[in-house]
């Protein structure tokens, strides 16, 4: 009898080995894991939005009660869902507030009030001066972080198809949400067409919709949003330099072209932050 049990088990194992995988395996098992990453950055950013709106008029002097800098998890207590842990899983995101001069080209500088006093070469606002309360300012709330190596395309470093599908299936179309691209490196366009030069000749062109060096690719890879120049080129006062958007995702990012086949190995390759996920809102 035991012999027949062994034979039956062996035959069953052979049958399972010859059974092809379900064609919807990725949709059922892989993409839901990627959705955890998308849900995490979305949840953290929306909690920060609640925090900012709650503190619009809660300052000691009757002004706004938030300032430029990092929005920490301590700040988000009472705004994030119960049990939310920013440090769990493979993805870690930083949420920051940038208060910039809305009249500067590409939003490339701090408001004048924020630059008064201190070292001109390092215009960090005084502790009593809230950049966000300055005149002619524009406020950006930004949540960002590296695309986890598990969800990167091995050739390009960009979000994998599974992560892109998770973005679409989880959130659909959300203004300001996507991944960061560099205008020179990635050359993002929304298509092309035919124009006529001054002599009437037809010229084929690509339409470039980014007005600053860095931008956001939205769902469908057809929607682009410019990222403020100050944000991509400068460290943010009030936050450690290594967590500032400039260092993690912008021009200050130190990413070398390491191949997984070289001596450094795949670990160094995957630890690079080639592309960032981002959720950016104007307040």
Q: What are the tens digits of pLDDT across the range 90-134? A: 788 999 999 898 888 888 888 876 765 444 455 454 444 577 877
Chain mean pLDDT for the chain: 75
DSSP-based three-state secondary structure for 74:
coil
Q: Nearest to residue 91, comparing CAs of 186, 182, 166?
A: 166
Q: Is the pLDDT of residue 24 over 50?
A: no
| Cα–Cα distance, 88 to 81 (Å, whole number) | 14
Identify the pLDDT of residue 241.
76
Of 145 and 135, which is predicted with more confidence?
A: 145
Q: How far apart are CA 273 and CA 244, in angstroms?
A: 13
C-alpha to C-alpha distance for 174 and 177, rounded to whole angstroms: 6
- Average the pLDDT over each of 8-12, 132-136, 257-261 and give the range with the smallest value: 257-261
Residue 99's CB: how many other CB atoms inside 10 A?
A: 28
pLDDT score of 43 more than 90: yes
What's the confidence (pLDDT) of residue 22?
A: 47
Residues 151-203 pLDDT 10s = 888 777 788 888 888 888 888 778 889 999 888 887 776 555 555 555 667 76
pLDDT of residue 25: 46
**Least confident stretch, 20-29, 163-172, 182-191, 253-262:** 20-29
Cα–Cα distance, 164 to 148 (Å, whole number): 13
Average pLDDT over residues 262-271: 52
What would the mean pLDDT of 270-275 be, rounded to a whole number? 71
pLDDT band with cut points at 50, 70 and 90 for residue 69 = confident
Q: What pTM value is reported for the model?
A: 0.76
Mean pLDDT (whole number) for 11-17: 58
Q: Average pLDDT in the 21-38 region?
A: 64
Residue 191 backbone zone (phi > 0: left; psi -120 to 50: alpha; other: beta): left
Contacts of 140 (CB under 8 A, 6+ apart): 97, 98, 99, 100, 107, 228, 231, 280, 281, 282, 283
């Amino acid at each position: 009898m035991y012999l027949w049990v062994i034979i039956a088990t062996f035959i069953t194992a052979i049958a399972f080995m010859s059974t092809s995988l379900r064609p919807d395996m990725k949709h059922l098992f892989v993409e839901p894991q990627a959705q955890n990453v998308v849900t995490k950055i979305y949840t953290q950013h929306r909690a920060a939005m609640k925090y900012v709106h709650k503190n619009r008029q809660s300052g000691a002097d009757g002004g706004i009660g938030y300032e430029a800098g990092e929005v920490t998890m301590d700040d988000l207590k009472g705004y994030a869902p119960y049990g939310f842990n920013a440090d769990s899983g493979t993805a870690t995101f930083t949420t920051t507030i940038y208060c910039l001069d809305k009249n500067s080209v590409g939003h490339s500088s701090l408001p004048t009030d924020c630059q008064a006093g201190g070292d001109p070469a390092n215009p960090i606002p005084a502790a009593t001066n809230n950049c966000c309360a300055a005149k002619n300012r524009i406020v950006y709330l930004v949540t960002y972080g590296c695309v986890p190596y598990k969800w990167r395309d091995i050739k390009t470093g960009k979000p994998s198809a599974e992560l892109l599908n998770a973005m679409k299936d989880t959130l659909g179309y959300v203004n300001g949400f996507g991944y960061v691209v560099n205008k020179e490196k990635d050359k993002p366009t929304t298509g092309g067409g035919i124009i006529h030069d001054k002599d009437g000749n037809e010229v084929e062109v690509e339409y470039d919709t980014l007005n600053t060096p860095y931008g956001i690719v939205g769902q469908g890879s057809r929607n682009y949003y410019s990222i403020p120049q100050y944000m991509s080129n400068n460290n943010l006062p009030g936050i450690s330099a290594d967590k500032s958007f400039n260092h993690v995702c912008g021009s200050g990012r130190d990413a070398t072209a390491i191949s997984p086949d070289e001596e450094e190995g795949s670990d160094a390759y995957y630890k690079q932050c080639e592309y960032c996920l981002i959720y950016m809102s104007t307040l």
